[in-house]
Structure 1
Amino acid sequence: MTAFSAIHEEHESDKEDFTPGVEPQPTWCPGCGDFAVLKALKGAMPELGRSPEEVMLVTGIGCSGKLSSYFESYGYHSIHGRALPVARASKLANPGLEVIAAGGDGDGYGIGGNHFMHTARENHDMTYIVFNNEIFGLTKGQTSPTSPKGHKSKTQPSGSAKDPVRPLTLSLASGASYIARTAATNPRQAQEIIAEAVEHDGFAHVDFLTQCPTWNKDAKEYVPYTDVQDEYDFDRTDRREAADMMYEAETKLHEGEVLTGRFYRDEQRPSYGQEKRSTGEMPEDHLAERYFEDDPEFERVADHLIDRHK
């Protein structure tokens, strides 16, 4: 028996199992799209047969960072833009965990943009949910990387002179193997997409449109929305066709039409962990589990380094 025996055991769970007893009620503003992310995440976990003991949720700074306080699982509240490095380390140390990282558009596409690009490039097996409300909400309404050109805010009172980041296109160019966009106004699709993303073996990026009724009234509620799988004919396993569809969706968003759905999926590419284990650079068993065995052998990296330089 080890500390990891709960992982992958057969059991039934309910979405209420993921409601913490300490802080069960979120304190987001009324009408905030973040509530929809929490609801979709709670609904997706039982659907996949996961229990709180099998999930690690890493969050950044911002309104979205509170997600780990309202979701019962292993959790880590990291600093601004650094959720992905912590999530990557968690997955590499314990591949049996379902690792989910979450943060806002400023956190993920701005301050942590370098980590986003390289985590996608390396195809780490995790899900990254980005709360995209086109504004810095927690710090009271500054222009973010996804704010549209001309958007007026405290930091750009005359209107932003910069074109917004195209997160779907950036994700594809960086190397993510699953890319989707959903919206708080489409809860059924949101839960389905999060479940697919968690189940995917590789880096799954979900751009989640979450309206901010307090600091970004220009974005309204991201309606009406159109599911690209219903209205467009493209092959989401083909990078070129996916890229064209993403560009259209990112262009139309600021023209008043919201295109959501699954944009890209690569099932053939191995994850970073699989690559490392195939070359023998990573052990098959969980790194942390070694220290819970009856007769552990502590392998200190420092000792190897010291021996190498003697």
Structure 2
Amino acid sequence: MSAFSAIGEETEVESDDYTPKLEPQATWCPGCGDFSVLKALKQALAELGKNPDEVQLVTGIGCSGKLSSYFESYGFHSIHGRALPVGRASKLINPELELIAAGGDGDGYGIGGNHFMHTARENHDMTYIVFNNEVFGLTKGQPSPTSPKGQKSKSMTPHGNAKAPIRPMSMALSAGATYVARTAAVNPRQAKEILVEAIEHDGFAHVDFLTQCPTWNKDAKQYVPYVDIQDSDDHDEFELDDMRGAWEAMRETEEALYEGEVLTGRYYQDERRPSYQEEKMERGDMPETPIAEDYFDESHDWKRSYDIIDKHK
């Protein structure tokens, strides 16, 4: 019998099925935007009919890293900046699992920035949610890669941040991500819809999720009012598979944020490019049966990794 017999079962799933029985109560600060990520993710997976046994959630370090503690599924709380390589490995071992990685803007765009770039470049089939609150919250308010220039903090930049912020969506697009979107904690309906699309997408889906930090980044407030670019007549229309149009819309969005205008929505989606896993299967570089199932097969004849596929001619 398959070790993952729950995968593909047609069952009715409710969002509460993703609430752990042992540690259901999240302990983020009151008013933290992370609560909205947790709720939207539960709702999205329930809408897709995924049960907890079909999902693997890998998180990094920081306030966002607690997500795996408050979420009922297979989980892995990795070290700082390493959620993506851990997630890539688990997806290669068992491609049938729905893989979701999550981390903060410091964890994902700073310490894990190299992994972010190359995971997008290789187009691994996963959803990457980045909690973007423009600050290192868990370590008491240091500026992060997305902190605006001039932002002050008591711990490191009392005279103001001297560095310009990175443009995370533009980075994802230029690196090779095949789905790029931005949403905000104050827009729960859009957040759920975008996460549904990202999870359904075959390839690397990057969701920049604006999450207010009322404790250490009071300047950002709650990222309101927000504007959905797909519903606004004030912004040029563009096709989601148009890279040039997406690039221009992303640049406008990323610049507007630091001028007080919050733009959100879908920016890019490429359904034509195969995922990394699909490429490897087509080349014969991955076994047809998930390697993870071999751990539960007592009759399996274990081989060294280089014996799993045919040797190079």
Shifted more, 2-11 versus 17-26: the winner is 2-11
Q: Distance in 1 between matches of 2:245 and 2:289?
A: 39
The equivalent of 2:188 in structure 1 is 187
2:89 aligned with 1:81, yes or no? no
Residue deviations 1:45-68, cap 9 Å, x none? 110010000000000000000000
Shift of 1:302: 7.1
Contact 1:132 1:146 in 2 (8 A): yes
2:281 aligned with 1:277, yes or no? yes
The equivalent of 1:221 in structure 2 is 222
The equivalent of 1:211 in structure 2 is 212
Contact 1:291 1:297 in 2 (8 A): no
Contact 1:150 1:160 in 2 (8 A): yes
Contact 1:184 1:190 in 2 (8 A): yes
The equivalent of 1:116 in structure 2 is 116
Q: Distance in 2 between matches of 1:302 and 1:224?
A: 55
Shift of 1:173: 0.5
- Aligned runs of 1:86-235 on 2, under 5 Å? 86-153=86-153, 154-231=155-232, 232=235, 233-235=237-239
- Unaligned residue ranges in structure 1 (runs of 5+): none
Q: Which amino acid aligns with 2:259?
A: E
The equivalent of 2:22 in structure 1 is 22
The equivalent of 1:39 in structure 2 is 39
Shift of 1:293: 3.0
Shifted more, 7-16 versus 211-220: the winner is 7-16
Contact 1:291 1:298 in 2 (8 A): no
- Unaligned residue ranges in structure 2 (runs of 5+): none
Q: Which amino acid aligns with 2:246?
A: A
TM-score (norm 2): 0.96
Structure 1 residues 91 and 303: CA distance shift in structure 2, 3 A = closer
Shifted more, 249-258 versus 226-235: the winner is 226-235
Shift of 1:165: 0.6
Aligned length: 306
Shift of 1:280: 0.3
Structure 1 residues 200 and 303: CA distance shift in structure 2, 3 A = closer
Partner-residue secondary structure (3-state), 1:169? helix
Shift of 1:162: 1.0
The equivalent of 1:65 in structure 2 is 65
Shift of 1:10: 1.3
Residue deviations 1:6-28, cap 9 Å, x none? 11111111111100011101000
Residue deviations 1:112-167, cap 9 Å, x none? 00000000000000000000000000000000000001111121111111110100
Shift of 1:284: 1.8
Partner-residue secondary structure (3-state), 1:260? strand
Identity of aligned residues (%): 70
Shift of 1:235: 1.5
Q: Distance in 2 between matches of 1:248 and 1:288?
A: 44
Partner-residue secondary structure (3-state), 2:215? coil
